[in-house]
Chains A and B, each alone.
Chain A
Amino acid sequence: MGKLTVIPGGKSAAQRFEALVLAHYDALYRVAYRFTRSSHDAEDLVQEVCVRAVPRLDELERLEQPRGWLMRVLYRLFVDLSRRYERRHVASLETLDAAAMPSAEHDAADGAAAAQRAERLDRAWQRLDKEQRALLALHDIEGYSLRELNELTGLKEGTLKSRLHRARARLGAFLQHEETASVALLAARSGGRP
């Protein structure tokens, strides 16, 4: 038999959903940013997670740690959604030029070098499989343990270890390639100047 309950002043589902999202937004965004290396893409990705959480609100509120569910959805969305959150990186010639110009300001030189390193990592990162990016971001940047990764991805610890190693070796190779390409480009530019 149906039952009617009136809860004056009770929280609406929209308010409950808002409370749930606000409690976990920063953590989700942080991990999404590590995956995508882009604020814009990270916000989009978290938004997708929220869309999927709406119909599960009751269930999520009953969970002791809803963040685990939200992170699993975040991971799956990033890894599974084809061709989304794929940034297209174009080498910033301005940055390279700035770094190549002699400067008396050490800070500026350090900043340019850091920007170069970040760009090289950006490009190398995009060449990894999305699963590789996610595993490295979670384990080697955010410090998730293998047990936590197992819960999040469903992969066994042995599988995770070997995939992490392959991902690191691949990233190292791409970084090496980027480093070589940058040096060659700078040398060519320096040589071309009067």
Chain B
Amino acid sequence: MSCAEVVETLRGRAPRDAAELAAAEAHAASCPECRRALAALEVLASERARAVPPPSPGAARRAIERSLRAPAAPAARSRGFWAGVATGGAAAAALALAIGSWIGRDGPSPAAAAPQIALATGAVRDVNVALSANEALRGVEIHVAVTGAIGLDGYDVRELRWTTDLERGVNELSLPIVALGAGSGQLMVEVVHGERRRTFVVDVVARS
């Protein structure tokens, strides 16, 4: 019986009969290492009963906010959208998240008729734009603009432009749109890679 097995037997975690138990006790009595391990286990058992102090107030929210604003971790920096967001400057950093890739043949937007959403004046709504594609791309330029009665919530500009690397798969870009007053407006998202360009338009009707 090894020292590890002796300790497991004595703490009741290993199967044992009377003979094994006696043998383990005899071994431990003459083995300083086993006695030290058993002493440590006793202390650790009392730790288990000790309550963990709670995190400081708001710790979880702070972790979330800081993570969303942090540059991508080194492993993901070269390909993550967050890298693009970070290089887009402070304004772009508030954009939520888009991960994925885009590849497009030149041509008109796939939506012949622009999708339309309605908003009450003053209301904010996240508009999620998804792009599906089949290969990863580097150096994709994203251009977001709003016109008419809508704005980008949290921004004092009506256009944002940044460059990012995109992955193969589905893209998602979340844009906080606010209705500034009654009327109509448009959200335009343009994605450019080299000579390729694709533009998406969403019509927004703001009602008082």
Contact = CB atoms under 8 A, between A and B. Distances in A.
Contacts of A8: 117, 125, 127
Contacts of B102: 2
B132 A2 contact: yes
B41 interface: yes
Interface residues of A, number: 57
Interface residues of B, number: 70
A141 interface: yes
A13 B33 contact: no
A83 interface: no
- For the residues of B in contact with A, the DSSP-based class is mixed
Contact of A1 (B7, B33, B105, B129): B105
B200 A4 contact: yes
Contacts of B103: 2
A82 interface: no
Given A17-B97, A47-B67, A168-B36, A141 B60 contact: no
Contacts of B191: 2
Contacts, number: 186
Given A2-B132, A14-B68, A143 B48 contact: yes
Contacts of A9: 125-126
Interface in B127-177: 127-133, 169-170, 172, 174, 176
B90 interface: no
A12 B67 contact: no
B60 A55 contact: no
A14 B96 CA distance: 5
Given A43-B63, A51-B70, A55-B82, A30 B97 contact: no
A165 interface: yes
Contacts of A176: 36, 39
A185 B36 CA distance: 22
A22 B67 CA distance: 13
Contacts of B98: 13
Contacts of A171: 36, 40, 43-44
A164 B97 CA distance: 42
B96 A13 contact: yes
Interface of B: 3-4, 7-8, 33-41, 43-45, 47-48, 52-56, 59-60, 62-64, 66-68, 70, 72-73, 75-76, 80-82, 96-99, 102-105, 109-111, 115, 117, 125-133, 169-170, 172, 174, 176, 191, 198, 200, 202
List the 5 shortest-distance A-B pairs measured between CB atoms, nearest first.
A172-B36, A13-B97, A165-B4, A12-B174, A50-B67
25 contacts: A2-B103, A2-B104, A2-B110, A3-B132, A13-B98, A13-B128, A14-B174, A15-B96, A25-B55, A29-B55, A34-B47, A43-B55, A50-B63, A54-B68, A54-B70, A55-B81, A57-B97, A136-B44, A141-B48, A161-B8, A168-B38, A168-B41, A169-B36, A169-B40, A175-B39
